[in-house]
Amino acid sequence: MIKFLLLAIAIFSAVIVVALLLVMTPMQRLGNVDDVFGFENYVEIKPSEASTPAAIHRYMSRDGEQLAYRVYPSSSARILLFIHGSSYHSAAYDGLAKSISEAGLAKVYMPNLRGHYLSGARRGDIDYMGQLEADLADLIAHARSEGDEGEIIIGGHSSGGGLAIRFAGGEYSALASGYWLLSPVIPGAPSVRDGDAGGWAIVNRGRLAGLLVLNAFGITGLNGLPVIQFNKPVVFRDGTETLAYSFRLNQSYHPRYDYEQDIKAMGDLVEVFIGDHDEAVDPEALKIVFTDAGSKANVHVFPNVNHFGIFGSQAARQSIVDALR
């Protein structure tokens, strides 16, 4: 019995040591990076499409943090809580929010997630895994306190779509009536191109693996370390982006690894939009992912549209509005 106990302790110690060594894997230094998503087509908005984003408002989260959001009034009582993709914030989706709200489809609330521009004490980090979902629930409560009583749709683009899926599988799922997803990124699923969204996400796989092992044993003290960087060329940066995420923020921003359960939890009121030229997500594989999870989601594939074009192109925005009418 004692020998067995000593052997178990030795194995446990060895596993922890290996995990710690993996956690020490240094982050990659990014030099000249490729423009994976074609930022040149969407960073400088054409004058005919230029508009000033809606003003920043603040709501109080349960921990007292004042988090940023934008709101777009509509003739509809329905509320769309739309979540931005990785590295940037709500301003990028101003055109989409205006298209949806002005078409009378929904009043749009768009948060700047904690750990991003104007939200939270630390850029690229949160306090605990699952905090993003709690913050979204607090924004819904804030909308209710403002007198908005319509049904809640959770939407999002890219990683924001992944967080919407995660929300469905979590403790606050009863708050949502449906989901509108644009090119949702689901790490670990065959729909993610090359496993790294076409080269956009630079993951420190050694550190990630080590932290997953430590967390499996309840060791969470190193969860604030960065594990992922984003491949945004320097020439297109404006200082408001967040180019690296901690382990706990990254884990909170996508579906659980058993993603099929999160997808199934969304129910049948799910609309998914993606372009056939998406650089990060394979549209045909995405259809299979939803089907295999038992989802009855309507997956709309738009021709000649890429990952940013799904919200940045005026034509794509109109196609989304038409599909949702």
Distance CA 184, CA 273 (A): 9
CATH of the domain at 143: 3.40.50.1820
Distance CA 256, CA 113 (A): 18
3-state secondary structure of 107: strand
Q: Do residues 185 and 161 lie in contact, with contact meaning Cβ atoms separated by under 8 Å?
A: yes
Span 33-58, average pLDDT: 70
- Residue 92: is its pLDDT beyond 70? yes
Residue range of the domain that includes 145? 2-324
Domain count, the chain: 1
Nearest CA to 162 among 252, 244, 233? 252
- Which pLDDT tens digit goes with each residue over 247-299? 999 999 999 999 999 999 999 999 999 999 999 999 999 999 999 999 999 99
Mean pLDDT, rounded, of the chain: 94
- Residue 209: is its pLDDT beyond 80? yes
Span 24-51, average pLDDT: 68
pTM comes to: 0.94
- Residue 198: is its pLDDT beyond 70? no
Q: Do residues 213 and 182 lie in contact, with contact meaning Cβ atoms separated by under 8 Å?
A: no
Question: What is the Cα gyration radius of the chain?
Answer: 20
- Three-state SS letters, 276-314: CCCCCECHHHHHHHHHHCCCCCEEEEECCCCCCHHHHCH
